Structure 1
Amino acid sequence: MKRNPVRVTRAAGDIGAQLSAWRRMQSLTAVQVAERANISRDTLRRLEHGDPGVSWGTVLAVARALGALDRVVDALDPFQTDLGRARAAAALPKRVRQ
């Protein structure tokens, strides 16, 4: 079985803990969030405990159930970074021919 890099494992733990904090701040039970995300309680537990084997779709479904999906999408938007904005200006065409 292939092992994940340490940084990936650490990031999975951080994301799981953050989603757990979102859930607790909203006074939602794990059962409520699991039902809203259409996953099992055990899968939510694995995610919240940092299992990097939980699917990307599950992470997004839980983020949606917690009202945090837009924050996840925004966090990965390259145009929200200085580098992304600089590269976009250089890479995008100055005008579009019709």
Structure 2
Amino acid sequence: MKYVPTAVRRDLRLLGTQLSQQRRLLSLTIADVAQRAGVSPTTVANIEQGKAVRTDSLLSVARILQMADGIVTATDPYKTDLGRLRANEQLPKRVRR
């Protein structure tokens, strides 16, 4: 089995807990989410338990739970202070072909 750093395991558990809470707030069962997302109920359970799953499965489940947009937005480098400061100085003004 591949080594997963402690911080990553903690993040996976937290993300799984939050997705599980959202599922319950929407009054959906694991089977409901799995069917709508096109994944197995085991995959949804693994996500909620903080186990590693494929990224497309994770985002499919998050989309059903109305949380995918927040995940995608949170990873936008231009939304960070450093990203906004460095964007103008590091990105090329044009790209040669």
Tell me the equivalent position of 1:73: 72
Structure 2 stretches lacking a partner, 5+ long = none
Q: Distance in 2 between matches of 1:95 and 1:51?
A: 42
TM-score (norm 1): 0.88
Structure 1 stretches lacking a partner, 5+ long = none
Q: Distance in 2 between matches of 1:36 and 1:21?
A: 17
Q: Distance in 2 between matches of 1:8 and 1:35?
A: 28
1:92 pairs with 2:86: no
When residues 57 and 95 of structure 1 are mapped into structure 2, their CA distance, relative to the original with a 3 A threshold, is closer
1:44 pairs with 2:57: no
Q: Distance in 2 between matches of 1:86 and 1:39?
A: 40
Q: Give the fraction of aligned pairs with identical amino acids, expressed as a percent.
A: 47
Deviation at 1:69, TM superposition (A): 1.1
Deviation at 1:27, TM superposition (A): 1.1
Q: Which runs of 4+ in 1 moved over 3 A?
A: 92-96
Alignment of 1:1-98 (within 5 A): 1-52=1-52, 54-93=53-92
Q: In structure 1, what residue type is equivalent to 2:70?
A: R
Aligned residue-pair number: 95
Q: Distance in 2 between matches of 1:11 and 1:29?
A: 23
RMSD of aligned alpha carbons? 1.6
Deviation at 1:2, TM superposition (A): 2.4
SS in 2 for 1:28: coil
Q: In structure 2, what residue type is equivalent to 1:3?
A: Y
